[in-house]
Structure 1
Amino acid sequence: MEDLLLNSENLLNRVSLTFRRYLYFQINWNNRLIGIKGSRGTGKTTMLLQWLKEVDIPTRQKAYFSLDDIFFAGNSLVETAKLFYQQGGKILVLDEVHKYPTWAQEIKNLYDRFHDLQVVFTGSSIIDISKQEGDLSRRALMYELKGLSYREFLDFQYGIKFPKLSLEEILTSEGIVRKKFPQEFKPLANFQEYLRFGYYPYQAEDRLGYFQRLRQQTRLIVEYDMAELKGFDIRHAKKMMQLLFVVAQQVPFKPNINSLAEKTGIHRNSINNYLYFLQEARLLTLLYPAGSSVAVLQKPEKIFLENTNLLFALSKETPSTGTVREIFFSNQVGSMHNTSYPKSGDFLVDGKFTFEIGGKNKDMSQLSNVENAWVVKDEIEYPVGKSLPLWLFGFLY
């Protein structure tokens, strides 16, 4: 265990506190058992190391263990944590818990046995603790970390800091929105960069190899992480990749089940299940008709890639501007609010706000008889009446 503690100390010494994710300020860090899930590359590990570094207790009383470390291939998590606790440990951060087969039961055991040991764990976005053994759902306070918002990207990449905006603030008054930003701020100056490269924090490390790394990450999610999903047969991973790439060339679109089955070799009765699995892995977003119940076997009205960076990485050709706009809106708004497909317009948010997405010349003609409706336009800087700028929805978190 000494090597684990030494590695933990080294990581804490190296982690930067310059930029912190939105979720850092939303978590109730006083809870005794906290779980944070999220897709690969969104920054879960960095966020936890930052928090652990700032906790004002001696270094040997706090530790970070990654459960994909080879140490845990031959050593019990419970016994290792017990030894840490007996040596005065108070806070234990466990990363990549889904890589350890009996993680749920053993974390539950730690919670029940050591009442003054705080445990914080992270896992893939696909983990569902309500279906895990040990009934962690009653014990753990769960959160999910999304990729960078446009607001966070401006801070992370350029040090441009702004507070987040609520949906109500965006919709209420154009004057209120304008007052939130200095006159010299050019909101569109870095927007196209964000759409291509801004969602995952690791883009700062290697911009030239970003798309290749993103494709590799996608394959790892499908071939390894999704093995944790109940009902998913890992032997179908190749077909899942085929389905994902087929969708990437066409999104957003109304899915034709027979056509998807023919192009991927997946039986038509299994397509909706596969789409659902890809959504659980945060690779796709499925938009269902307004007023309908979301069920695994239900056909979605539209399919989107989860974020615009994935779209640029997986598309064979430059994606259409309209597709990019809709995916950005779906991703940023859907991270904080419920979205569905309305009878008129492109998105219904929280069951009461309707939005049509388009370019700067888009008008309200398609929404003329719809209450609480707005046109969201690309290439405009600030709200004008019922016209809202697309970039502004990147400030919701």
Structure 2
Amino acid sequence: MEELINYQNILLKNVHKGWNRYLFQTLHTDERLLGVKGLRGVGKTTLLLQYLKSALEKGDKGLFVTAEHPYFYQNSLFDLASLWVSYGGELLLIDEIHKYANWSRELKLIYDGFPGLKVIFTSSSALDLFQGESDLSRRLDVQVLHGLSFREYLSLNGFGDFDSLRLDSVLDDSMKISREITNLLKTPVLPLFKDYLSTGYFPFSREINKERIPQRLIQILNTVLESDLSMVEGYSASNVTKIKNLLGVIAESVPFEPNISKLAEKMHLGRNTVNIYLKNLEDAKILNLLYEQVKGISQLQKPAKIYLENSNFLYAFQHTPSSGTIRETFILNQLRNSEHLVGSSKKGDFKVDENWVIEVGGRNKDNSQIKNLENAFLAIDDLEIGFGNKIPLWLFGFLY
């Protein structure tokens, strides 16, 4: 136990409470068992440590461990929880639970055996927390930590603190809102937005040289595929190689309109296997799959279009991605990260919550593609202030 406490204290010395991710204020900390999922690099570990620091200051007895710690070479999670409770522990934070072989079974035992202990853990976004070895559905609450919104990027880098916005407010009152934000910003918004699109989705972007970010993103992708996805799905090295090949094909021409049969034939795979791999990549937060329906998507249904999960990934694969792809990738990412349902639209690019249609384009985009449609809007790049149904694209980065 002493070695774990010492390890925790070392980590806490490097954690600052001055700035928190959006999820910090809305963590479901009343739950006895809470899982926080998310892509590598989005700040899950920091979130746990910040919450622990806050809890310790309130007098709670909390312990942070990582499932990779050598302590678990000879000890189980259940043994640790039992020992921690005997010390009077009230809160146990476990980082990277997917690295622990029997995570679901032991979490169930901990939940049932120690009703006075609250457990919060992080996991890979690829992990289905309700489909482990033991059924946790009646015990577990799950939240997702996404990459930075444009709003958070501005705050993290010292350009101003702003409240998140509702989508209906953005669509109905974009002129007033965009003018208020740009007046309060310490520098023009459009150059900041361009930086965010290329390098600003991950919190570590503040700490390393911009030229090194694409390389860091490729490292993240490789780790997710070779370690997280391989561990979660039990994939062999051969499976991982095929998934990498599939990702490479898609990344060359996103947004990718898949012909599953031709794709399967090209890669010497079955149709169902291709669909399963695509779903795995979406669960791992590497891809965003866009379907014609907004609701009721089956696992093996063909997506209408395939996007990379965020615009920074585009720059990791391509030195100069097309502006149209960047715009669509960004708005799909921000809408879904703020829990809106998004499908493809026959007129316009996206159907949102069955209520709105959004067409995305550059400054000269007109209404021709959404003519005569009700509740239809243009999301316009290189536009600072909104007017009418033309919404500045950057403003969709304030939804969370």
Equivalent residue runs for 1:293-372 within 5 Å = 293-315=296-318, 317-336=319-338, 337-372=340-375
Per mean C-alpha deviation after superposition, the further-off stretch among 185-194 and 90-99 is: 185-194
Output the amino acid matched with 1:386: N
The Cα of 1:107 is off from its aligned counterpart by 1.2
The Cα of 1:188 is off from its aligned counterpart by 1.0
The Cα of 1:292 is off from its aligned counterpart by 6.6
Task: Tell me: CA distance 1:60–1:373, structure 2 relative to 1, closer, same or farther (3 Å).
Answer: closer
For 2:303 and 2:13, locate their aligned partners in 1 and report how far apart those are by CA, in whole Å: 47
The Cα of 1:40 is off from its aligned counterpart by 0.7
Equivalent residue runs for 1:69-88 within 5 Å = 69-88=69-88
Kept after mapping to 2: 8 A contact 1:354/1:372: yes
Task: Tell me: CA distance 1:21–1:160, structure 2 relative to 1, closer, same or farther (3 Å).
Answer: same
Task: Tell me: CA distance 1:203–1:251, structure 2 relative to 1, closer, same or farther (3 Å).
Answer: same
Kept after mapping to 2: 8 A contact 1:246/1:263: no
The Cα of 1:268 is off from its aligned counterpart by 4.0
Equivalent residue runs for 1:178-327 within 5 Å = 178=178, 180-181=180-181, 183=183, 185=185, 186-207=188-209, 208-230=211-233, 235-290=238-293, 293-315=296-318, 317-327=319-329
- For 1:2, the equivalent position in structure 2 comes to 2
Output the amino acid matched with 1:126: A
2:128 pairs with 1:128:
yes
The Cα of 1:335 is off from its aligned counterpart by 1.2
For 1:347 and 1:182, locate their aligned partners in 2 and report how far apart those are by CA, in whole Å: 27
- For 1:139, the equivalent position in structure 2 comes to 139
Kept after mapping to 1: 8 A contact 2:125/2:283: yes
Per mean C-alpha deviation after superposition, the further-off stretch among 160-169 and 202-211 is: 202-211
Task: Tell me: CA distance 1:57–1:159, structure 2 relative to 1, closer, same or farther (3 Å).
Answer: same
The Cα of 1:230 is off from its aligned counterpart by 4.5
Q: What 5-or-longer segments of structure 1 have no aligned partner?
A: none
Per mean C-alpha deviation after superposition, the further-off stretch among 77-86 and 289-298 is: 289-298
The Cα of 1:367 is off from its aligned counterpart by 0.5
The Cα of 1:57 is off from its aligned counterpart by 5.4
The Cα of 1:184 is off from its aligned counterpart by 5.2
SS at match of 2:222: helix
Q: What 5-or-longer segments of structure 2 have no aligned partner?
A: none
Kept after mapping to 2: 8 A contact 1:9/1:59: no
Kept after mapping to 2: 8 A contact 1:127/1:228: no
Task: Tell me: CA distance 1:124–1:386, structure 2 relative to 1, closer, same or farther (3 Å).
Answer: same
Output the amino acid matched with 2:72: F
SS at match of 2:280: helix
Output the amino acid matched with 2:251: A
The Cα of 1:256 is off from its aligned counterpart by 2.3
SS at match of 2:301: coil
- For 2:169, the equivalent position in structure 1 comes to 169
For 2:141 and 2:5, locate their aligned partners in 1 and report how far apart those are by CA, in whole Å: 26
Q: Deviations over 1:199-229 (max 9, x none)?
A: 1111222223211111011011111111244
The Cα of 1:173 is off from its aligned counterpart by 1.8
The Cα of 1:291 is off from its aligned counterpart by 5.7
SS at match of 1:369: coil
* Count of residue pairs brought into register by the alignment: 396
SS at match of 1:188: helix
- For 1:41, the equivalent position in structure 2 comes to 41
The Cα of 1:263 is off from its aligned counterpart by 4.8
The Cα of 1:59 is off from its aligned counterpart by 7.8
The Cα of 1:111 is off from its aligned counterpart by 1.3
Percent identity of equivalent pairs: 41
The Cα of 1:19 is off from its aligned counterpart by 1.2
